[in-house]
Amino acid sequence: MNKILPFFLIVFFSCTAYSEEKIRLLEISKNLNEPWGMTFIDDNNLLITEKTGEIIRINIETGEKFSIDHELDFFYFGQGGLLDILYKDNYVYVTYSEDRDEGKSSTSIARGLYNDEKIIFENIFRAEPPISSGYHFGSRIVIKNDHLFASIGERGGGMIAQDVTSHPGSIIRIHLDGAVPNDNPKFINRPEWLPEVYQIGIRNPQGMYLSPFNEKVYISNHGAKGGDFFGEVKFGENYGWKIIGWGGTNYIGTSIGDGSAWKPGFTKPIWTWTPSIAVCNILIYNGELYPEWKGDVLVTSLKYKTLYRLKFENNEVKSQHIIFENRIGRLRDIEVNSKGEIFLINANSNASLWKLEKF
């Protein structure tokens, strides 16, 4: 375990513009290089992945950073690298763009027993086929009971998200050791689907969360030019990419499909954004520090550098509010510990870990 920086720098400022609350953001640790995912291992320590390859443990009380070694064969190119990370029952799960062969890569998932010095990872999933692209890897993970859900981006391949013999553009569901559940869609009502696939028709889903209120899994997904959305993961269903574009268009302005935002027979998003906000990770809040936010969805935005709050009741979004905007750069991830404390990372090459507080 390599100790990196023994410091605890706090920067205070008020974020009152467009806010319902007076809040401040405390800079817990800085000099992070393109951080992507984070996960708590206890209330005082979290793990952060840097897209460039590091796994770092940060003590949020002291600000100290420690590097953890690994031997993942990751492919740092475009949007690829080390991506999401999740700690559960002494195991660490990581999603990453795996370097396959001849410049091709896949969204892959590995797990290993936690160790302060070095984590020995073993792959439990590889998206097939590997693709020569630096785009749209996804990829967030959540654990529900003994199942791991992961969002697999379509790698810029468009209609590959409708190809049920490929993983890109889907939500997959596997056991924690990588085994395939025998109640996945393939074995119930979708015999042509790959065994791991749970839902199809996704573009680039960079957010995922398991609701503590109803045990449903939700995602956020990047549209093209418009059409970002928040929606529910549903067994054996199809969000429709690239037959439909959820209100967006292609970047050159042409229609996606016939221009429909949604068609019967496809999963309907719960909430969409046009123009796109470059939606990233989401969190459904269930802490005690912000009781007025209980049950609401906190949404990070890369493009608008904004933290949104969606008033979420009975599986519907009633309204959208801005907590703060344009204060700490492009927002990549959001996490909460058991105390209800909220933490954020921005996506820059000189990024920081921030803690959200009222004052």
Q: Around 2, how many Cα atoms within 13 Å sit in the side-chain half-sphere?
A: 9
**Is residue 169 classed as helix, strand or coil in its secondary structure?**
coil
Cβ atoms of 49 and 85 within 8 Å: the answer is: yes
Residue among 336, 233, 357 nearest 286 (CA): 336
Domain covering 2-358 assigned CATH 2.120.10.30 in the classification: yes
pLDDT, tens digit, 9 for 90 and up, residues 133-192: 999 999 999 999 999 999 999 999 999 999 999 999 999 999 999 999 999 999 999 999
CA 346 to chain centre: 13
Q: What is the pTM of this model?
A: 0.94
DSSP string, 190-250: -TTS-TTEEEE--SEEEEEEE-TTT--EEEEEE-BBB-EEEEE--TT-B--TTT--TT-B-
Residue-level pLDDT at 348: 87
Amino acid at 116: D
End-to-end CA distance of the chain: 36
**What are the average pLDDT values for consecutive 10-residue runs of the chain, which has 359 residues?**
45 40 90 97 96 97 96 95 98 97 93 98 98 95 97 97 98 98 98 98 98 98 97 98 97 95 97 97 97 97 97 97 96 96 94 92
**Is residue 291 classed as helix, strand or coil in its secondary structure?**
helix
Quote the DSSP letter at residue 275.
S
Q: How far is the C-alpha of 343 from the C-alpha of 83, rounded, in Å? A: 17
List the domain boundaries for the chain. 2-358
What value, to the nearest 5°, has the Cα angle with vertex 274 and ends 273 and 280? 45
- Kindly provide the residue ranges of all beta strands, DSSP E only, lying in 129-179, ordered along the sequence: 138-144, 147-152, 170-175
Residue-level pLDDT at 9: 43
106 CB contacts (<8 Å, ≥6 apart)? 97, 98, 100, 126, 127, 128, 129, 130, 131, 167
